[in-house]
Structure 1
């Protein structure tokens, strides 16, 4: 690896900030890492939960990255059909050592044609959409297939980042980062996955998710059609 490891995280409107800030906290502690927050313009970008994020560099000025990472959130419904963003990702992926995502950020990688033939994971509510982009869905916290590292929903971003930190700097360094962050999760409830959540909790959540899932379905169908047209 070069002396400086350039790690770039995409910033976009309505991203889930923990998808970005969890890995950011890990990556910022990797020896030699220079972390970039990337968007089209240098201006505050609203997340999906009050917090706004300020990019550090634009698409146009971004150097070749060793790691490109796309977080998730409701804003990915727009990003899967954002031609400028998809073009940026394709160009970066051509020279990057690792092409990565957290949560529904994997759908944006897929829309850019970067997961075709790869195993990948995403948020449990969006798992069925990966196949539209030629990816094989895998229900896991972190999925590694060659140089594609994808994390599951939101909190899995820390697991993903530690896994990648071990690749970049060795397991001992990754363990030191984990210890420094006191990442030792012990959730107060056993409800963090639809496979283990109480049925009544899942039943109450599903209708609340229905409108956003329908918007996502339409966005993914459009993005998949764009890919088909580009390939023909």
Structure 2
């Protein structure tokens, strides 16, 4: 017949690294003094201790850096002599876990790496924004240059057409002045001499986008 399970707990000083010793207290219920205690780790026996005749508990001291310190949770069990001098085993205690704080240098290194990653992310973001602005400005500059080229081409075509018309008019006026006053030409309606050259084509104006 199983008897009540013991209680288990870590006692000070608590370990701050895997090199520090671990102190585990295991205590039987009231009325079970002088019991034999067994400490287990992952189902394996770690250490055996016997409590004094008038004591209910024992303290297991595990040296730092040992296999037990690096292992999993601990639990304990006790046994006493019952009726007819027969040993009675208790149920296993609840497991107790041993945790070690993160070393300061690891924490500092993690924070440094996080800061570097954040800085790189910020620099990449800024570089992408600057590149986007430069491309946008370059596109605007190209659009303005295209508008100026269209305007210059249109003005040149208009000037050439105007010059051709003015030249033809001047030649016709000069021909009329050279005709003698006593000419025997049959009077009639005066006709403008027709130029042998083909009439100039009307100027073409190119369309362009509004800048």
User: Could you tell me the TM-score, scaled by structure 2's length?
Assistant: 0.19
User: Could you tell me the TM-score, scaled by structure 1's length?
Assistant: 0.18
